[in-house]
């Protein structure tokens, strides 16, 4: 399919089967080596690299021309496929080379600002500014091909089980709930604005009201957040919704999707995906997205450590430990280093207690002053720690301490190399709380979003004890990263109004913002629910990396700027006048 | 795949094979008929309609409950599949009905503001406001399913021939060329704005510079245009680009796509797609998007009608005719009616001349005073008109008259029912002029866009006679509608700079707007070209309709407003302050 006016073959396909054949190739010069009377050129295209040969003895004029070519020039060559003297087993075309008899320079190139190699000399900033050159590097190129393949697998699976891809609008209405919207001034309606969607949430629910049953969309979403290292103002979501389903139906359906992706993309068979309640996740891992590639589950040690004179533990709401296998021989320095880790401001623990379970059956701890060997033995027993293991203990307010211990657990997982690349452990976290109390604004916020249904048996609690209400909400976690989340939605006007009330919306506000949805619910809304996956994040996790940016063709930097095209930028006064807006003067 | 917690089957699948089986269905009540002691309910879901039966004699309580149900309520029923007494051959489930033994109301419905029927009593405005209800109607629902299927066919084909789907950014930079941009204020960079893409044009070209060879994307695009009846501020494009190709490669590749779509979606085999130059299209059809389902090509009659005393013709730059087959017997009234048509302000002709080729071999015309039988016979001969045909003639300035005659030709095609639904005649229109002269601003504009390459043999003309330069640009036309267009692009910095100059950009302006592209071209840009198809339009044409809105789930109205969600809308002062913008005061 690649034969076009400019070539008969691409640079990744020729091998011994083609020896003796005349071919025409076109591509970029990766490398240019002059060895005696020979010039060797590595010619690169999307598909691979093929070695070209020019020989002064065979064609001096052509060889001289070849000597003058530079890196990243585009040349078109015609020549004969020959077996190589010294073969390169690392590339598919490594057995052959092309003895060139015609050469045409198609386009020249300035010397690139960084080397187009797997290991480049270009820093992040330079590479993002010249992203079109960075995309020539195998790693970045392969990431985008990978993303294409994941998208294809997702679409094929969802279509095969009856989901329809339906596009929802991008120019919608701003809603104050949740993250900040990007807004778009309307020229035709001065003083009014569209907003870019943070997700197609309400539209996909309307599609359920319409009867579309199984909807999906791979769709761009927008959030004007204060940027963190790995956030992008625009990101892509695999957005799905189903009608006439229970939570179980949704988990089963999307377990199928996850299995399909792993089978298609990674050639890995994933077994049944385990499920864990939010409460268990917090109590055992201190995180709602536990990495279950390794153990080190928390042990609640509160009952076993508050009977002595150690006031720090006695004052603690919760004391928890993890058992680090085989680490009883850690040096003072190693232990100090771990203590330093938990004391970092990002973690925020004030200190750490350790107990070494020594091979000879005795115990050594940082609190030997307060606890005797029997005390420590009891802790070891409760923790299922064996001789040779190290127990690390944090204490304090329960929730906070669990989070800190969760961070410590991950850190120890890293140090012991228990978080293995290529090992994928998906997990459903279920039974999330419906609401989150915010101290600062003294109100409840939706943990998921305002459309999430409380568990039917908790609906009454909504009036008496909203904080105790659980939701039919679930997250898909892979290796400690949240890949997706969703819920069963409210499909009843009354319940939805009640939910808005709990969230502090007046009736007028609810009507102004979501009147169309409340209206829609009055015309026969089906029970429904759904899920959305972060597509960028999914690609990153499947590739064992943290950086979503590597999977976005043209990402923005940490200041939400595209340094390649230089956006955002000033626009003309004329444009602003047409839109009836003015830029506010700032004080110097 | 449809069995879930709420149903065992859907409403479109049960037939005689299921008789005697107990099934559970859920759906909307389409219709509710009481006939004697029986209640018949048509239950509807995405997949079809199944008839439910309740019988007072069998279960009086249940029948009474069923009597109280209303249209569009959602009910869940369990019952036994029975053969019907009077079958309905029009629906797949027409042989059976469900004798219900359990009934549960899942959700009630207010009476919808219009009937959910193929022929509804709801007007456009009402239906767009309650789009979620309009989408329940078969016609609109099927349009979205159709769109899903077309999208799937497009993706499958393009992936099968090596195209990669790569996402390009939505938050980009505003460019003054072309239509108006929607812009998005940046909060982090006060006074600066992103723009929403009118197309991913420059990004797909950068991907070619990166070496991605075959790119596509089904992608939303945005244009802040003054709205015409059938334009939407956001629309979807099938956007494609290829490297190392000639125009011929592109036409061949996308001819393959068009054939695949027709085969997959319409089960129609399309032969080779004919090609016509822009000049021929204008000279023979008065349009750059001719409907070639029927003939009536123009005949240039200028040489044959300027030798007599008819001053209107003698002063005309161009005189052209079309032959309407078998219409020589048109009445005075019919002819007047056609004359009225060409005199409409939208067409703008001042008059029309006709010649009737009478069965007996004589001629009757509206200009008998000026032309004798021999004159008229010569015109008929030149026109290949037969006895019984009617020749319609317009005259005036050449370009204008050709356009008018083109409109007349389409009108006659409609009247003679020659533009048949279900008959698809794709056409490549090629060799477009590169530039268009605009009298008002006294400058050239890019006919296609500023990145379109002039034909190599015309490059020199760019300096001497820009208006005469043709481009390697092409449109795909189906049945008189432009479905797509593209071109071979410039891949040379020098030529691109020259092009910007011709378009009236100063060097600084070109650098400020497109510096990144001009830079990119300096690092080995490959020869490349591409095409973009209007996805909404493609769906409409394949369905023999003009209205793209019918194929958009949530369209905007003619004032670019979403009346369902009420967008655009005012936003809070707080939001504007965060974005450092103010709304301009307007005088009352």
Residue A232 lies in a domain: yes
Contact state of A516 with B210 under an 8 Å Cβ cutoff: no
Tell me: cis bond preceding A568? Omega within 30 of 0 counts.
yes
pLDDT by residue (tens digit) across A58-70? 999 999 999 999 9
B45-62 mean pLDDT: 96
A437 and A346 in a single domain? The answer is no
pLDDT by residue (tens digit) across B107-154? 999 999 999 999 999 898 999 999 999 999 999 999 999 999 999 999
Chain A to chain B Cβ contacts (< 8 Å): 366
Per-residue model confidence (pLDDT) at position A89: 94
Residue B504 lies in a domain: yes
Contact state of A45 with B211 under an 8 Å Cβ cutoff: yes
A490 and A409 in a single domain? The answer is no
State how far the Cα of B69 lies from the Cα of A392, in Å rounded to an integer. 64
Contact state of B135 with A2 under an 8 Å Cβ cutoff: no
Report ipTM (2 d.p.): 0.95
Orientation of helix B201-210 relative to helix B507-520, angle to 10° = 40
Say if CB A429 and CB A274 are below 8 A apart.
no
Contact state of A580 with B579 under an 8 Å Cβ cutoff: no
Contact state of A192 with B248 under an 8 Å Cβ cutoff: no
Query: For testing the chain A interface, which of B194, B204, B456, B489 should be mutated: the one with the most A CBs within 10 Å?
Result: B194
pLDDT in tens, chain A (588 residues): 567 889 999 999 999 999 999 999 999 999 999 998 899 999 999 999 999 999 999 999 999 999 999 999 999 999 999 999 999 999 999 999 999 999 999 999 999 999 999 999 989 899 999 999 999 999 999 999 999 999 999 999 999 999 999 999 999 999 876 789 999 999 999 999 999 999 999 999 999 999 999 999 999 999 998 876 678 999 999 999 999 999 999 999 999 999 999 999 999 999 999 999 999 999 999 999 999 999 999 999 999 999 999 999 999 999 999 999 999 999 999 999 999 999 999 999 999 999 999 999 999 999 999 999 999 999 999 999 999 999 999 999 999 999 999 999 999 999 999 999 999 999 999 999 999 988 888 888 888 888 999 999 999 998 899 999 999 999 999 999 999 999 999 999 889 989 999 888 899 988 888 899 999 999 999 999 999 999 999 999 999 998 899 999 999 998 999 999 999 999 999 999 999 999 997 654
State how far the Cα of B16 lies from the Cα of B94, in Å rounded to an integer. 9
Residue A165 lies in a domain: yes
Of B74, B112, B145, the CB nearest to A526: B74
Of A192, A492, A578, the CB nearest to B568: A192
Of A73, A162, A234, the CB nearest to B171: A234
- How close, in Å, is residue B21 to chain A by CA atoms? 21
Residue A380 lies in a domain: yes
Say if CB A512 and CB B97 are below 8 A apart.
no
Per-residue model confidence (pLDDT) at position B587: 57
Say if CB B142 and CB B163 are below 8 A apart.
no
CATH number at residue B335: 3.30.1360.30
Say if CB B390 and CB B356 are below 8 A apart.
yes
State how far the Cα of A514 lies from the Cα of A509, in Å rounded to an integer. 8
Residue A114 lies in a domain: no
Strands B426-430 and B275-277: parallel
Q: Spell out the residues 6+ positions from residue A509 whose beta carbon is closer than 8 angstroms to its own.
A: A500
Per-residue model confidence (pLDDT) at position A442: 85
A380 and A507 in a single domain? The answer is no
pLDDT by residue (tens digit) across B445-497? 888 888 999 999 999 998 899 999 999 999 999 999 999 999 999 999 889 98
B462 and B504 in a single domain? The answer is yes
B567 and B434 in a single domain? The answer is yes
Number of domains, chain B: 3
Residues of A in contact with B522 (CB under 8 A): 109-110
State how far the Cα of B252 lies from the Cα of A436, in Å rounded to an integer. 58
Question: In sequence order, what are the beta bridge partners of B319?
Answer: B395
Contact state of A554 with B203 under an 8 Å Cβ cutoff: yes
B440 and B563 in a single domain? The answer is yes
Reduced to 3 states (helix: H, G, I; strand: E, B; else coil), residue B458 is helix
Residues of B in contact with A491 (CB under 8 A): 107
Contact state of A4 with B244 under an 8 Å Cβ cutoff: yes
B190 exposed, middle or buried (CB, 10 Å; 0-12, 13-18, 19+)? middle
Residue B131 lies in a domain: no
Of A155, A162, A227, the CB nearest to B1: A162
* CA dihedral of residues A416, A418, A420, A426 (deg, nearest 10): -150
Residues of A in contact with B202 (CB under 8 A): 565
Residue A182 lies in a domain: yes
Contact state of B206 with A131 under an 8 Å Cβ cutoff: yes
- How close, in Å, is residue A291 to chain B by CA atoms? 30
Per-residue model confidence (pLDDT) at position A178: 72
- How close, in Å, is residue A181 to chain B by CA atoms? 9
Secondary structure (H, E, C), B467-494: HHCEECEEEEEECCEEEEEEEEECCCHH
What phi, psi does B409 have (nearest 5°)?
-60, -45
A36 exposed, middle or buried (CB, 10 Å; 0-12, 13-18, 19+)? exposed
Shortest CA distance from A179: residue in chain B: B575
Residue A131 lies in a domain: no
State how far the Cα of A289 lies from the Cα of A572, in Å rounded to an integer. 47
Of A172, A242, A579, the CB nearest to B567: A172
Contact state of B110 with A162 under an 8 Å Cβ cutoff: no
CATH number at residue A25: 2.40.50.140
B452 and B567 in a single domain? The answer is yes
Reduced to 3 states (helix: H, G, I; strand: E, B; else coil), residue A507 is helix
- How close, in Å, is residue A552 to chain B by CA atoms? 8
B437 and B552 in a single domain? The answer is yes
Say if CB A314 and CB A327 are below 8 A apart.
no
Q: What is the pTM of this model?
A: 0.95
Of A130, A182, A570, the CB nearest to B184: A182
pLDDT by residue (tens digit) across A259-288? 999 999 999 999 999 999 999 999 999 999
A147 and A253 in a single domain? The answer is yes
Contact state of B571 with A187 under an 8 Å Cβ cutoff: no
B444 and B513 in a single domain? The answer is yes
Of B206, B523, B556, the CB nearest to A72: B523
Compute the mean pLDDT over every residue in chain B, rounded to the nearest whole number. 94
Contact state of A556 with B234 under an 8 Å Cβ cutoff: no
Query: For testing the chain A interface, which of B173, B260, B529, B565 should be mutated: the one with the most A CBs within 10 Å?
Result: B565
Contact state of B26 with A131 under an 8 Å Cβ cutoff: no
Buried b (16+ CB within 10 A) or exposed e, A136-168: bbeebbebbebbbbbbbbbbebbbeeebbbbbb
Report whether pLDDT(B299) > 90: yes
B269 and B152 in a single domain? The answer is yes
Q: What residues make up the domain containing B27?
A: 16-107
Among residues B415, B433, B466, which one ends one of the domains?
Answer: B415
Strands A318-324 and B74-83: unpaired
Query: For testing the chain B interface, which of A194, A240, A514 should be mutated: the one with the most B CBs within 10 Å?
Result: A194
Contact state of A244 with B5 under an 8 Å Cβ cutoff: yes
Contact state of B74 with A168 under an 8 Å Cβ cutoff: no
Among residues B90, B107, B124, which one ends one of the domains?
Answer: B107
Residues of A in contact with B193 (CB under 8 A): 568-571
Residue among A245, A531, A453, A251 nearest B76 (CA): A245
Quote the percentage of chain A above a pLDDT of 70. 98
A31 and A155 in a single domain? The answer is no
Question: In sequence order, what are the beta bridge partners of B324?
Answer: B390
Among residues A107, A130, A155, which one ends one of the domains?
Answer: A107
Reduced to 3 states (helix: H, G, I; strand: E, B; else coil), residue B40 is strand
- How close, in Å, is residue B276 to chain A by CA atoms? 22
Residues of B in contact with A110 (CB under 8 A): 522-523
Contact state of A527 with B106 under an 8 Å Cβ cutoff: yes
Contact state of A1 with B161 under an 8 Å Cβ cutoff: yes
pLDDT by residue (tens digit) across B219-253? 999 999 887 667 899 999 999 999 999 999 999 99
């Amino acid at each position: 399919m690649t034969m076009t006016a400019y070539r008969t073959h691409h640079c990744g396909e020729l091998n011994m089967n083609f020896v003796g054949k005349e071919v025409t190739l076109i591509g970029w010069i990766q490398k240019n080596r002059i060895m005696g009377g020979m010039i060797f050129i590595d010619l690169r295209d999307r598909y691979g690299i093929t070695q070209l040969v020019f020989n002064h003895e065979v064609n001096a004029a052509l060889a001289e021309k070849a000597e003058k070519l530079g890196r990243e020039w585009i040349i078109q060559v015609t020549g004969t496929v020959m077996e190589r003297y010294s073969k390169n087993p690392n590339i598919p075309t490594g057995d052959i080379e092309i003895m060139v008899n015609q050469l045409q320079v198609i386009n020249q190139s300035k010397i690139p600002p960084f080397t187009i190699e797997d290991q480049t000399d270009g820093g992040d900033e330079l590479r993002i500014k010249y992203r079109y050159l960075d995309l020539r590097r195998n790693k970045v190129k392969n990431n985008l091909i990978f993303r294409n393949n994941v998208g294809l697998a997702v679409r094929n699976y969802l279509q095969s089980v009856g989901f329809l891809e339906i596009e929802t609008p991008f120019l919608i209405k701003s809603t104050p709930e949740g993250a900040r919207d990007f807004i778009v001034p309307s020229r035709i309606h001065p003083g009014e604005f569209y907003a870019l969607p943070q997700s197609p949430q309400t539209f996909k629910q309307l599609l359920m009201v319409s009867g579309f049953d199984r909807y999906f969309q791979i769709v761009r979403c927008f959030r004007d957040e204060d940027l963190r290292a790995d956030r992008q103002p625009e990101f892509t979501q695999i957005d799905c919704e189903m009608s006439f389903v229970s939570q179980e139906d949704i988990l089963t359906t999307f377990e199928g999707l996850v299995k399909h992706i792993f089978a298609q993309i990674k050639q890995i068979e994933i077994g049944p995906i385990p499920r864990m309640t939010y409460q268990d996740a917090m109590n055992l891992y201190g995180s709602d997205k536990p990495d279950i590639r390794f153990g080190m589950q928390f042990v609640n040690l509160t009952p076993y450590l508050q009977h002595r004179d150690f006031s720090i533990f006695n004052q603690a709401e919760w004391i928890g430990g993890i058992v680090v296998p085989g680490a009883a021989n850690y040096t003072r320095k190693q232990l100090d280093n771990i203590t330093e880790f938990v004391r970092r401001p990002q973690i925020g623990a004030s200190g750490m207690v350790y107990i070494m379970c020594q091979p000879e059956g005795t115990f050594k701890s940082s609190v030997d002053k307060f606890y005797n060997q029997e005390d420590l033995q009891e802790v070891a027993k409760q923790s299922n720690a064996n001789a040779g293991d190290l127990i690390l203990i944090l204490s304090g307010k329960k929730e906070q301490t669990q989070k800190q211990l969760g961070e410590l657990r991950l850190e120890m997982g890293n140090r012991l190399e228990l978080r293995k690349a290529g090992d994928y452990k998906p997990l459903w976290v279920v039974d999330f709380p419906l609401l989150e109390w915010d101290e600062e604004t003294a109100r409840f916020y939706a943990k998921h979003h305002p459309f999430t249904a409380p568990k039917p048996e908790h609906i009454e609690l909504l009036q008496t004890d909203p904080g105790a209400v659980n939701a039919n909400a679930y997250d898909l976690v892979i290796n400690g990263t949240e890949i997706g989340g969703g819920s069963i939605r409210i499909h009843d006007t009354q319940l939805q109004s009640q939910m808005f009330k709990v969230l502090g919306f007046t009736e007028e506000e609810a009507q102004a913002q979501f009147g169309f949805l409340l209206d829609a619910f009055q015309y026969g809304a089906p029970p429904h629910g759904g899920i959305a996956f972060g597509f960028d994040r999914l690609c990153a996790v499947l590739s064992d990396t943290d950086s979503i940016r590597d999977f976005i063709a043209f990402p923005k930097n940490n200041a939400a700027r595209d340094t390649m095209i230089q956006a955002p930028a000033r626009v003309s006064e004329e444009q602003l006048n047409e839109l009836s807006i003015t830029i506010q003067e700032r004080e110097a």
